[in-house]
Chains A and B, each alone.
Chain A
Amino acid sequence: MNLENRSAARFKQQAASALKDNNLKTALAKAKDGFVLKRLHAVEDLDEFEAIRAEARKIKDHALSHLDFYLEEFERKVKENGGHVHWAQTPEQACALVMDIVGTEAKQVLKGKSMVSEEMGLNAALEAKGHTVVETDLGEYIIQLAHEPPSHIIAPAVHKTRDQISDLFHGEHPKYGLNERLTEVPDLVNEARQVLREKFLNSDVGITGANFLIAETGSTVIVTNEGNGDLSQILPKVHIVTASIEKVVPTLNDTATLLRLLGRSATGQEMSSYTTFSTGPKRANDHDGPEEFHVVLLDNGRSKVLGSEFQDILRCIKCGACLNHCPVYGAIGGHAYGWVYSGPMGSVLTPLIIGLENSYDLPNACSLNGRCAKVCPMSIPLPDLLRQHRFKAFQRGLTDSRTKLGLKAWAYLVTRPKLYSGLTSLAAKALALLGGSRGVLRKAPLASGWTSVRDLPVPQGQTFQQQWKKASE
């Protein structure tokens, strides 16, 4: 897949090329089994999972319906703690704000994982100004070596096989003194750790995302399994948090409730290895911590989603469970979706941010099997929201003309039973004749979408209605 020109509008081509990628197939098959089983066990082991889920939904719904209040509370507390809050409507504004804080002096910038910084295109912007950017999450580090965007919200390099990662290190790390091709996971992790440790100690700014913003305390929260987030924000002099506005929750207690769902839904862990709360810059008696603490809050269209039929998507806590259980994601991976977010949550969110006209296929390329909604810890009705996009697309005339014409003809027929039964009788007979005794057709008129990948079983010859009528006479 050509990742440079990828876009949500080119979904079909990107999906086609992803389906031909055997490494991707191997990597996704391996990841899927792990995620699905681990989550299942973690959820089964927690008797009160459903009760927590109901509580979590209430917490987020409440926060969203008072979003302005909690955001302002959050800002007040951050300031009280000695930090700064910056507001951005667009990714460009957010980028400019971050660049201002980073300044011109800073050479090396550390990054903890942040999907919002992907929305902003932050790495490219920083590099364009001559800063060196170092991703510190192992997955992010790997794809940075490969010059690729993340393909999964919590497992950015999930599309890579171990072999491919070995190759990347082998190709990129000789400059750090690596001479052999490492193939074992612990060796690869250790190699990354050695290289990153040096960078942690020599960086000027640390940028992280946020899983939650707590209005009560003015804290930002991140979860990691590598501890890279801690180091990214404690060691450099300046810590910048990039987060979208819907991340705010009222209290510390609320955060605890949501955290109980997050780890289990994401990786099947009761808790991630590290849960880090950042509350303002280093205080007089603190042993460590940044001297400056900034939070850049990005809207990027989310405030328009509030109060709309799509509001439920803002409850998303970015656990990735819907991606891990989506058979379409499992077939094509995350890059094919063409923008920052992928899988079911991405197919709902992306059209809201970049426009349905630029992402028409995303809500359509779904069999509406409903598995995502069943595992969503925040009970987001994902298939309903995808269908809602389809309604919008139809209203706005974005639906392709062939589909529209087909629907028109179909609607005409199915509300005229006599005409319908006449035509279906003919079709049943014609297809049965075409099929003869073979039982299936390899090709059929107007059915290339079907027959391109499977045979068409032929009808028995007469419709049920014909036979029923005959039997009743």
Chain B
Amino acid sequence: MPDRTKNNNRVGLLVTCLVDLFRPNVGFAAVKLIEQAGFEVDVPSAQTCCGQPAYNSGDAKSAAAVARHVIRTFENYDYVVAPSGSCIGMIKEHYPRLFESDFDLKTKAEDLAQRTYELTTFLVQVCKLKVNTTFNATVTYHDSCAGLRELGVKNQPRMLLSQVEGLKLNEMEDSEVCCGFGGTFCVKYPDISERMVSEKTNNIKKAKADFILGGDLGCLLNIAGRIKRESGETQVFHVAEVLAGMVTIPAIGEKSE
């Protein structure tokens, strides 16, 4: 892979549409962590969404149009990083498949896939980040499906969290089972999704943790929304917020003073 910049250290942050709209703090946490490791971060303003809503609803044509847009937007970065397993899974696993009959775009999609990373994987594998923060709390961790099964994100967040001073990880039962988000699935089949997310919140409760962390905002919004509906106490943060020491704002779905 040719270096795109002189120092080969320029990261394009794919904020993801959910972080952009709901939880900018996660984006800033990602920027802070990547910069801590000595990389230069840029956030191209032309970015919107990775295309999963169309792709998973059967609209391959619209998904391909969005993929072309993403490929163009992130053409000139050495690395592309997002605080999400599912958006990165979309780019790495599925973009190349969208262009089976277009050699040029397929090559570009494969090139993008090669330099694209899920945030915790990037921090561990490429940055070799030493985490430098304190969080005096007991947490549990939800393994989001696409990150876990498409990208093998499992130990990366745990390795990083183990370096956080004061943090204790209580693993919950079935941490690898889907929380019932599934993108448009959760609004198309709300009653099935409800059963899935309430099993998740039940396992969270049993883990006796003050916080539930994860690496995908979709799942976290779903889990936080359900905890609130059940009047639960466990607070929800994205793992990047904890790693960057940016837990000073209210947790996801939490009241502000």
| Residues 1-46 of B at the A interface (beta carbon under 8 Å) | 15, 17, 19-25, 27-28, 43, 45-46
Which A residue sits closest to B249, measured CB to CB?
A460
Stretch from B122-130, B133-141, B160-168, B222-230 forming part of the interface with A = B222-230
Task: Select one of B48, B54, B182 contacting A367, CB under 8 A.
Answer: B182
Q: Is the interface of B mostly helix, strand, loop or mixed?
A: helix
Task: Select one of A15, A399, A465 contacting B43, CB under 8 A.
Answer: A465
Least distance between B65 CB and chain A CB atoms (Å): 6
CA distance A373 to B226 in the complex (A): 28
What 7 pairs across the A-B complex have the smallest Cβ distances?
Answer: A367-B182, A449-B187, A394-B58, A390-B58, A457-B253, A454-B225, A369-B178
Sample of 15 A–B contacts (CB below 8 Å): A12-B189, A365-B189, A391-B60, A392-B58, A394-B59, A403-B188, A414-B51, A414-B69, A415-B65, A417-B46, A439-B250, A440-B224, A453-B191, A460-B249, A465-B15
Least distance between B193 CB and chain A CB atoms (Å): 7
Contact A390 B57 (CB under 8 A): yes
B243 at the interface (CB under 8 A from A): no
CA distance A399 to B60 in the complex (A): 13
CA distance A145 to B229 in the complex (A): 42
The number of chain A residues with a CB under 8 A from chain B is: 64
Task: Select one of B46, B60, B62, B252 contacting A457, CB under 8 A.
Answer: B252
Binding site for A on B (CB under 8 A): 15, 17, 19-25, 27-28, 43, 45-49, 51, 53-60, 62, 65-66, 69, 145-146, 149-150, 176-178, 180-197, 199, 221-222, 224-226, 228-229, 249-250, 252-257
Contact A411 B59 (CB under 8 A): yes
Residues of B within 8 A of A93 (CB): none
Least distance between B105 CB and chain A CB atoms (Å): 15
Contact A327 B222 (CB under 8 A): no
CA distance A467 to B23 in the complex (A): 11
Contact A439 B180 (CB under 8 A): no
A447 at the interface (CB under 8 A from B): yes
CA distance A449 to B62 in the complex (A): 23
Contact A15 B189 (CB under 8 A): yes
Q: Is the interface of A mostly helix, strand, loop or mixed?
A: helix
Least distance between B176 CB and chain A CB atoms (Å): 8
Least distance between A361 CB and chain B CB atoms (Å): 8
CA distance A276 to B191 in the complex (A): 43
A468 at the interface (CB under 8 A from B): yes
CA distance A387 to B79 in the complex (A): 29
Which A residue sits closest to B181, measured CB to CB?
A367
With A15-B191, A454-B197 known as contacts, the answer to whether A439 contacts B228 (CB < 8 A) is yes
Contact B191 A469 (CB under 8 A): no
Least distance between A27 CB and chain B CB atoms (Å): 14
CA distance A440 to B253 in the complex (A): 5
A437 at the interface (CB under 8 A from B): yes
A69 at the interface (CB under 8 A from B): no
A410 at the interface (CB under 8 A from B): yes
Which B residue sits closest to A468, measured CB to CB?
B43
A368 at the interface (CB under 8 A from B): yes
Contact A439 B145 (CB under 8 A): no
A58 at the interface (CB under 8 A from B): no
CA distance A410 to B54 in the complex (A): 8
Task: Select one of B19, B46, B66 contacting A464, CB under 8 A.
Answer: B19
A354 at the interface (CB under 8 A from B): no
CA distance A439 to B229 in the complex (A): 12
Least distance between B146 CB and chain A CB atoms (Å): 7
Task: Select one of B28, B57, B149, B193 contacting A374, CB under 8 A.
Answer: B149
CA distance A331 to B191 in the complex (A): 10
| Residues 424-458 of A at the B interface (beta carbon under 8 Å) | 424, 427-428, 437-440, 447, 449-450, 452-458
Contact B56 A390 (CB under 8 A): yes
Contact B20 A417 (CB under 8 A): no
Contact A450 B255 (CB under 8 A): no
A231 at the interface (CB under 8 A from B): no
Least distance between B184 CB and chain A CB atoms (Å): 8
Least distance between B77 CB and chain A CB atoms (Å): 16
CA distance A422 to B17 in the complex (A): 13
Task: Select one of B25, B47, B54 contacting A407, CB under 8 A.
Answer: B54
Least distance between A408 CB and chain B CB atoms (Å): 8
Residues of A within 8 A of B20 (CB): 424, 463-465
Contact B196 A370 (CB under 8 A): no
10 additional contacts (CB under 8 A) given A367-B145, A449-B188: A365-B188, A366-B185, A368-B146, A368-B185, A389-B58, A403-B57, A413-B48, A453-B191, A455-B224, A467-B28
Query: Scoring A residues 267 to 311 as 1 if CB is less than 8 Å from chain B, else 0, what string do you get?
Result: 000000000000000000000000000000000000000000000
Residues of A within 8 A of B252 (CB): 457
Contact A467 B58 (CB under 8 A): no
Task: Select one of A332, A371, A415 contacting B177, CB under 8 A.
Answer: A371
Contact B150 A464 (CB under 8 A): no
Contact A327 B180 (CB under 8 A): yes
A81 at the interface (CB under 8 A from B): no
Report which residue of A413, A414, A460 has the largest number of chain B beta carbons within 10 angstroms of its beta carbon: A414
Contact A454 B191 (CB under 8 A): no
Contact B192 A454 (CB under 8 A): no
Residues of A within 8 A of B221 (CB): 456-457
